[in-house]
Amino acid sequence: MRWIIASFTIIVIIVLASALMTIERSRLPAEIKFASSDVFTLDPQRMSYMQDLRISRSLFDGLCSHDSQTGLPTPGVASSWETSPDGKTWTFHLRPDARWTNGDPVTSVDFRNAWRRLLLPDTAADYSELLFPVQGARQFFAWRTNALTQYAAGKNHDAESANALWQLTLSTFDQLVGIRTPDPQTLVVELESPVPYWLDLCAFQTLAPIHQASLDKFTKIDPASGLLKSDPGWTKPGVLITNGPMKLVDWKYKRVMRLESNELYVGPNTPLATSVEVIPIEDANTAVLAYESGSIDWISDLTAEFRADLAESSRKWLDRHREEYELRIGAGASEDEALAALPAPDPALGERRDVHVLSAFGTDFWSFNCRALLSNGKVNPFADARVRRAFTLAVDKVRLTTSVTRLNEKVATTLVPRGSIDGYVSPAGLPFDISRAREEMAKAGWIDRTGDGIVENADGEPFPIVDMLYMTGNPRVKNIAIALASMWRDALGVNCELRGKDGKFAKEDLRRGNFMIARGGWYGDYADPTTFLDLAKTGNGNNDRAFSNARFDAMLEQAALELDPAKRFEILENAERLLVEEELPILPLCQYVTLYMYDPAKMRGIIRSPRLDQRLSLLRRVNEQSESSSP
């Protein structure tokens, strides 16, 4: 028996010791704590995930920023700028008082260095293409790629030759790429052709500056490949040097990240929050429980399966006080101020005020495979635009959003979210019209000739079973798929088969064209219709449908050359009309929504403009008592 007790004691000692080792040193609780998806990187040039960009927006200030109400570009580190008459040359004037967290001034060279880094294939950055409109940028990317290939094939693989290649790369960049720094406060950028949304790109976080000297300590040139390799250490707290309104003070992998206001900060985004903690909670139900118990203040993406019920509770409460709410909004209160001033929800009636359904800058759609043949060699019925139109006309989108997703999303008939881009008028798109859908099917030769409820072609062959591909793991997607299948069966007389696959495998099927109809969706990157319309361009990497239409491609090219913004939008509108009224490579369902959970009487600073580009530095805690007693 002794050994049992002995080994048991040993285990207990180890447990206590390791528990002690991992205990957090106590410090002041953060002003705001919020639940987020896992953060991948704080390296601005390598970012692509929304949650990373959200944190970066408070750590790094770019040339431009976004207005929190309108979403339009506003000054950032650049206090002013001018553009040449041909729209190709941009001159930015930087604030002289902008500082890095170590006290160094932020200069135009910091931007050039960051942009060069974004354009180096060595950085392995997702968003390098954002800078491809810059004169010579794409050429430089190709030059470096080619130089590295030659280096790898060559004989000399020592530190000296690798360094020589790097020096050559630096001088080639200066020669080829239209980015110049005449003085520390001036940045001149030359574009290949005018880019109407260029300022919006300058506000995108992957174009944020970097503090080269601190990065250099973690970078070396690999003699074997000639590649620049960065050690992951440079984004850690205490090492990372930033220029935004907040600074990084703690980051434990998938455990916690803490940002505090940056006292050296001078600029347009003055921080209101003193400290913000980001807590990754993967389990959606746990996140709700943590919110309910008060350990977090904001759930930045409410995905719990019962979220539609939660949203319903908030809607019920707001509906009861709609009149007072409208009055307060009319009197100039912000949405959150108005919500906080309403009478508190009555839990007995199942009411709450903390679930917010906000429209996002993205479209939920399904893709039609536009290839002539399916991946198994059979004829693809969806290669015929009439069939695609029929399937689109037969979908009752209002029923989808009210009784399937139950989130009352804005129904979409276009690819670009309607009203999301200033000055752009969306085409009408196709309505819900079953008889017109049947006509389109008949025109394509699909008629129920045998009276069995299934349509057949002229040879008497029934419509092939529709192969519907969707990604598993999200009940919303599956529910929509089931509803679509039943709508098509009832309206058009076709049988559908659902095929759920895990994300990576589904993506592989999409790439190979192994589907008839597949779940899709897209979030825009910048405020221009092309961020969506490019999806339908021939050969685009995200054109999973393999849609190819010469007229559409020509219109996009024509728009790229058009200098008058109004005319350009008109061309793009016509291009989109071709997509959503005639060709229909995609079937738009609704505008995406993001669900936030926060109590407006306790926390403020959430941005409700369609991009939902939240700034952590604007979040702040408000006192419930003083708010509710105010008139």
Partner 1 sequence: MTSFIIRRLLQLPLVLFAVVVVTFALIWLIPGNPMLQEGRQPPQEIVDAMNRQYQLDSPVRFFGGYLARVTGAGWVMGWNDAPFDLGPSMRNPDWTVNEIIGAGFPISATIGLGAIAIALVIGTIAGLVGGLRPGSWLDAGTQLIALIGISVPSFVTGSFLIVLFAAKFRVFPIAGWGTPAHAFLPMLTLSLPFAAYIARLLRFGLVEQMTTDHLRTARAKGLSRRQAAWRHALKNAFLPVLSFLGPATAVAMTGSFVVEKVFAVPGLGRHFVDAVLGKDITLVMGVVLVYAVLLIVLNLVVDVLYAWIDPRINLTSEGSR
Q: What share of the chain is helix, strand, coil (3-state, %, to 5)?
A: 40, 20, 40
The answer to whether residues 495 and 489 touch, using CB atoms and an 8 Å cutoff, is yes
Q: Minimal CA–CA distance to 66: which of 525, 424, 423? A: 525
Helical spans, DSSP H, in 91-206: 108-119, 137-153, 159-176, 198-202
Q: How many Cβ atoms from other residues are within 10 Å of residue 417's Cβ?
A: 24
Distance of alpha carbon 351 from alpha carbon 3, whole angstroms = 59
DSSP state of 330: H
Work out how close the CB of 255 gets to partner 1 at its nearest, in angstroms, rounded to a whole number: 4
What does R_g of the chain's alpha carbons equal in angstroms? 27
Work out how close the CB of 307 gets to partner 1 at its nearest, in angstroms, rounded to a whole number: 17
Q: Which is nearer to partner 1, 227 or 618 (CB)?
A: 227
Work out how close the CB of 152 gets to partner 1 at its nearest, in angstroms, rounded to a whole number: 9
Q: Which is nearer to partner 1, 139 or 609 (CB)?
A: 139
**Opening angle at CA 618, ends 617 and 621, nearest 5:** 105
Work out how close the CB of 144 gets to partner 1 at its nearest, in angstroms, rounded to a whole number: 9
Q: Which is nearer to partner 1, 216 or 452 (CB)?
A: 216
Quickly tell me which residue has 């689109």 as its tokens: 392
Tokens of 292: 């309910």
Work out how close the CB of 592 gets to partner 1 at its nearest, in angstroms, rounded to a whole number: 11
Q: Which is nearer to partner 1, 159 or 554 (CB)?
A: 159
At residue 122, the 3 state secondary structure works out as helix
Q: Which is nearer to partner 1, 2 or 155 (CB)?
A: 2
Work out how close the CB of 364 gets to partner 1 at its nearest, in angstroms, rounded to a whole number: 12
Q: Which is nearer to partner 1, 289 or 563 (CB)?
A: 289
Q: Which residues contact 627 (CB under 8 A, 6 or more apart)?
A: 340, 341, 601
Tokens of 134: 């810059």
Give the largest CA-CA distance in the chain.
91
The answer to whether residues 57 and 613 touch, using CB atoms and an 8 Å cutoff, is yes
The answer to whether residues 481 and 519 touch, using CB atoms and an 8 Å cutoff, is yes
**DSSP track, 253-317:** TTTEEEEEE-TT--STT----SEEEEEE---HHHHHHHHHTTS-SEESS---TTHHHHHHHHHHH
Work out how close the CB of 412 gets to partner 1 at its nearest, in angstroms, rounded to a whole number: 17
Amino acid at the residue 110: D
At residue 35, the 3 state secondary structure works out as strand
Q: Which is nearer to partner 1, 41 or 574 (CB)?
A: 41
Q: Which is nearer to partner 1, 294 or 419 (CB)?
A: 294
Q: Which is nearer to partner 1, 128 or 426 (CB)?
A: 128
Work out how close the CB of 287 gets to partner 1 at its nearest, in angstroms, rounded to a whole number: 8
Q: Which is nearer to partner 1, 227 or 469 (CB)?
A: 227
Work out how close the CB of 435 gets to partner 1 at its nearest, in angstroms, rounded to a whole number: 35
The answer to whether residues 413 and 406 touch, using CB atoms and an 8 Å cutoff, is no
Work out how close the CB of 126 gets to partner 1 at its nearest, in angstroms, rounded to a whole number: 5
Distance of alpha carbon 481 from alpha carbon 465, whole angstroms = 14
Interacting residue ranges for partner 1, rule: CB under 8 A: 1, 3-4, 8, 11-12, 14-15, 18-19, 21-24, 38, 40-43, 46, 48-49, 121-129, 141-142, 145, 148, 224, 227, 232, 235-236, 252-256, 279-283, 285-287, 289-290, 292-293, 295, 471, 502-505, 507-508, 521-523, 541-542
Distance of alpha carbon 127 from alpha carbon 235, whole angstroms = 19
CA distances from 73 to 53, 111, 198, 367 (A): 16, 18, 10, 32
Q: Minimal CA–CA distance to 345: which of 387, 310, 313? A: 313
The answer to whether residues 466 and 516 touch, using CB atoms and an 8 Å cutoff, is yes
Q: Minimal CA–CA distance to 120: which of 148, 159, 98, 95? A: 148
Work out how close the CB of 218 gets to partner 1 at its nearest, in angstroms, rounded to a whole number: 11
Q: Which is nearer to partner 1, 306 or 505 (CB)?
A: 505
